[in-house]
Structure 1
Amino acid sequence: MKKILVIDNHPVMLKFMTDLLEKQGHQVLTAEDGLSALAILESYIPDIIFVDLIMPNISGDKLCPIIRAKPELKDVYLVILSAIAAEKEIKITEFGANACIAKGPFNIMAEYVFATIDQLDRDETSDLSKDVMGLQHIHQRNITKELLRSKEHIELILNNMSEAIFELNDKEKIVYVNPSAIALIGIPEEKLLSSNFSELFHKSHQNKIRDVLDVDDDAQNMITEESAVMLKGKQVSLNVLPFQDEEQRSLIVIMNNVSERKRMKARIERAQKTEAIVTLASGIAHEFNNCLMGISGNMDLLQIYSQGDERLNKYAKAMKRSLTRIVGLTSQLLAYARRGKYEPQNISINAFVEDALTIIRHSMESSVKVKTNLAKHISKVEVDPSQMQMVLSSVIANSVEAMEGPGTINISTREEKIDEEYVKHLRGTNPGAYYVCLTVKDDGKGMGEETISRMFEPFFTTKFLGRGLSMAAVFGIVKNHDGWISVDSELDKGTEVHIYLPAVNPQT
């Protein structure tokens, strides 16, 4: 006696196979589709499975690989029952099946079913034909060929769509996915099919997914880009369409990965915000300079006329110190507003780093170590050394504060050719251009996404980004040199600041 599972969506075929096999003393269970079969196979290990190719809720060609992927079912004998054998070539081994019987007259089908079981009893399965058994007894049907051609046409379109497409049954189980859906989620098709759709999402979004799946027959529900949900670390939007035929109701879910689009939108918004702040900073700095010229001149006169008056001279000196601080702040505002670049020179970035470090090290904590890895044969850059001194000093100062104690700062240089991927994100750059990259890497506390997005705003502060205009000035100076600055950081994993400057006569 064999334990047998028959999977077919046609009740007549299920009754025929059940009666045929039970009369031979076999134990027979039946399932009307792929999902029902998988539910049975959770607690039932058959010796033989007869499976139809064309059926709803996971077709036979998808079901066979799922069965084969289960360790407890790897030795089960899989036999395909095909109603389209005359119209379409059946590649048995591609499905992971052992044999294929063409659906035809019941008396002829019965002979091949018995022959298959007999050879399995005698352990002679290697003698079974890899061709479709019973093919010579059936004929091609034009209507079937037309339907198969239409199905293949639709599959070709779905397989090449960039959108992820899912079909769900009325219990939210996945019964179909296209290649884009598999790629988006990163789970093999055989594991994805029959899984619960809402459970793919982050727990905080699962109730929202269930709500959007609760859609009326004549409507559609959406999760738009603005209210995107998280799926495997990606932000996605959804469009849910109900589908109802005479036999069943299903849902079609069209999903788009909007992560990159939202990141680009955020970058554009930050750039626009920065431009607005730059314009404001420029205006303020200009007005400050006009006022400071008058104040500074009168302060000088006051100091001249206060000679001999120690009390008055004391106050004048204190005012002069405050004035000097305001002048410095105005200089930083001008740097942020991308004014300046007063004395550009063609210099070696490596020589600049070594000279600057001799000065910067004196103001650093002795517990912080600085290591350098400066590339040989690197192109020169056209910069104002004094402004670049401000850039490097500010970046290193923030690295020191981020470590809050002993740590290591690594400074490196390299020359890099900008490719198409960089150009997508960086306005004003050209593919194929060469840039010199100065990188400052620390092993400090790191930053989250929100801090990174705001770190170049004037007066934005955190525990270790509390240096007023310094990082805003860094941004302005680098941009004023036709370069750009990027930051890579994670909380508790340190920070890398990359400063890109155009190479002069690049060494290609």
Structure 2
Amino acid sequence: RLQVADFTPVEPGYVQEAAGRLVRAAGGGEPQLFEWPLRSKEGRVFWAEVNLKRATIRGRARVLALARDITARKRAEAERARLETAFEQAAETVVITDADGTILYVNPAFTKISGYTREEAIGGSPKILKSGEHDDAFYKRLWETIRGGETWQGRFRNKKKDGKIYTEDATISPVRDRSGTIVNFVAVKRDVTDLVRLESDLRQAQKMEAIGTLAGGIAHDFNNILYSILGFTDLAMDGVPSETRTYRCLEGIREAGARGTELVSQILTFSRRKEREKRPLLLQEVVPQTMRLLAGTAPSSVNIRQTLDPACGPVLGDRTEFQQIVMNLCSNAFHAMQGKGGDLDIRLEEVRLDGANVRASGLPRGGRYARLSVGDTGYGIDESTARRMFEPYFTTKPVGEGTGLGLSTVLGIVQAMEGSVRAESAPGRGARFDVLLPVHEPTNDAPAPRADGNGLENSPPTEVDHAADSRGR
């Protein structure tokens, strides 16, 4: 006689105990339905759905067992479990909707990136992510594509729950049932916000490098011409009485030549052709000194606040160039608050950056950085201006009031110091520029840093050309 253990791969002792318990329950009038692994006569193991119930056969009480092969169903369930696990653990956003676009499923990546919980998303529409940056024609083409049975690929500019805009690359595919009818859509999306920003930074850097190379070559030749003009002007002035009209005209030529020399100096700084000796600087001393130089040009309606961390580590750079950074940023802030007044907030602190913070700041590596922030309460910067404000010769000031080299000079100096500069602004909400410079880590044999009152360490004071450095963008 066959025993249950003869056609099951499970350990015999357990089989006899479990089978006996189930048979007794079924014999007592409680039908039993369960899944059980079985082994065929040929030795093939398969899953079966077993139904036990009491029956009377030839006048005797028996337990009738009905078994149905469910191997295919179990395999499908295992595959579905694997897919669900993959969706749940994927870094990409996965959204499944019905044929009308109602959200049926979102994975954890969706909630992490968008800020919406599953409860808020499921039953709703993907419209909750609309940023307003795509027109109706964009969405019309999308729906025509996927409802036509084709896969749509493209890029979204979507809005998170907190209102922040982010960029996603998406693939949306239709899902059909056995009859070929589209019953679902599945969207797989990847957040590429940081990648887009890095690509934009790379294009901007390449454009700036090309402009800098061209400008540097022109400036070098122009500088030689200016030296000749200034030299011959000085010779001519030596032979002309100072009270004459000719002398005053020559003075005008010399002043114009001096302004041209200053402009060339800015161009060469931007193109990195003008190298200066770098020394350790204590910015918490250089900044107040620079602000004293600016005191005469600051509007009386602007309130200046300085919050400087005395423990901020030194940076490696040229003192005059760093003063130029501060002066240009502050001059722009004064111009932004012209006629209305406001607050100029200058902050210095040491920060440690790593991971995503490094990528977002456009820096080559993590570590200790000195962060100088210059913020104002002026009229702010619109998006179109923000995209171009670091380009040389681009300015929003009236003709004759700016050269368009202020921020491009700041960018050139900061990049030469292996740092980065970023701006945050919106029209009517002021602007803040953050300059990040790597903290100088002296070698063991280097002399210990020592401040000398000029913000320099172990170096003599550097003479500053107040007239040249106080001109902003």
Instruction: Quote the residue 2:293 is aligned against.
Output: 359
1:281-316 Cα shifts (integer Å, max 9, x gaps): 211211111211222221122112333782322221
More off after superposition, 393-402 vs 170-179: 170-179
Which of 417, 421, 446 is the aligned partner of 1:485? 421
Structure 2 residue runs without a partner (length 5+): 1-32, 37-48, 55-64, 443-447, 449-473
Match of 2:341 in 1: 406
Q: 1:142 to 1:472 in 2, by over 3 A?
A: same
Q: 1:420 to 1:201 in 2, by over 3 A?
A: closer
Aligned to 2:75: 146
1:196 aligned partner: 125
Aligned-partner Cα distance in 2 for 1:351–1:218: 67
Q: Distance in 2 between matches of 1:377 and 1:229?
A: 41
SS, match of residue 363 in structure 1: coil
1:454 aligned onto 2:382: no
Q: Secondary structure at the match of 2:296?
A: helix
Deviation at 1:331, TM superposition (A): 0.9
**Are 1:246 and 2:182 matched, yes or no?**
no
User: CA 1:168/1:313 → structure 2, altered by over 3 Å: closer, same or farther?
Assistant: same
Letter paired with 1:234: Y
Per-residue deviation, 1:207? 4.9
Q: Is the 1:347–1:383 contact (alpha carbons within 8 Å) kept by the matching residues of 2?
A: yes
The within-5 A match list for 1:55-454 is 86=34, 142-143=70-71, 144-198=73-127, 200-202=129-131, 204-205=134-135, 207-215=137-145, 219-225=149-155, 228-232=156-160, 233-246=165-178, 248-250=181-183, 251-307=185-241, 310-404=244-338, 405-425=340-360, 429-432=364-367, 434-454=368-388
Distance verdict in 2 for CA 1:313–1:150, change over 3 Å: same
State the secondary structure of the residue aligned to 1:214: helix
Letter in 1 for 2:112: A
Write the deviation string for residues 40-94 of structure 1: whole angstroms up to 9, x where unpaired.
xxxxxxxxxxxxxxxxxxxxxxxxxxxxxxxxxxxxxxxxxxxxx8459xxxxxx
Contact 1:86 1:140 in 2 (8 A): no
State the 1:388 CA deviation.
2.1
CA deviation vs aligned residue, 1:77-117 (integer Å, no higher than 9, x gap): xxxxxxxx8459xxxxxxxxxxxxxx999x99xxxxxxxxx
Matched position secondary structure for 2:316: strand
Distance 2:124 2:284 in 1: 56
Stretches of structure 1 that go unaligned for 5 or more consecutive residues are: 1-84, 89-102, 109-136
Secondary structure at 1:491 match in 2? coil
Cα contact 2:282–2:315 (8 A) shared by 1: yes
- Aligned mates of 2:159, 2:278 — CA distance in 1: 49
Specify the code of the residue in structure 2 equivalent to 1:409: L
**Structure ranking higher in helix proportion:** 1
CA apart distance, 1:206:
5.0
Q: Distance in 2 between matches of 1:445 and 1:200?
A: 29
What secondary structure is seen at the aligned counterpart in 2 of 1:440? strand
Tell me what 2:8 maps to. none
Q: Are residues 492 and 395 of structure 1, via their aligned partners in 2, closer, same or farther at CA, if it must alter by over 3 Å?
A: same
Equivalent pairs, count:
378
CA distance in 2, matches of 1:182, 1:491: 31
SS of residue matched to 2:171 = strand
Whether the 8 Å contact between 2:373 and 2:432 is mirrored in structure 1 is yes
Cα distance, 1:341–1:308 mapped onto 2, change above 3 Å:
closer
Letter of the 1:249 partner, please give it.
Answer: I
Label 1:380 to 1:246 Cα distance change in 2 as closer, same or farther (>3 A).
closer
Paired with 1:150 and 1:191, the residues of 2 have a C-alpha distance of 28
8 Å contact kept, 1:436–1:501: yes
Which structure is higher in RCO with an 8 Å CA cutoff and minimum separation 6? 2
Contact 2:102 2:124 survives alignment (8 Å): yes
| Residue 426 of structure 1, CA deviation | 5.7
Contact 1:198 1:209 in 2 (8 A): no
> Which digits, 9 at most, give the CA deviation of each residue in 1:122-156, with x for residues without a partner?
xxxxxxxxxxxxxxx99785333333222212211
Q: TM-score if structure 2 supplies the norm length? A: 0.71
Contact persistence 1:488–1:495 (CA under 8 A): yes
Secondary structure, aligned partner of 1:357: helix
Distance 2:427 2:118 in 1: 35
Q: Is the 8 A contact 1:86 1:138 kept in 2?
A: no
Please give the per-residue CA displacement for 1:199-247, whole angstroms capped at 9, x wherever unaligned.
Answer: 643455455334322237885242423xx34344323333232232235
Contact kept, 8 Å, 2:145 with 2:152, in 1: the verdict is: no
What's the Cα RMSD here? 3.3
CA separation of 1:383 and 1:150: change in aligned 2, threshold 3 A: closer
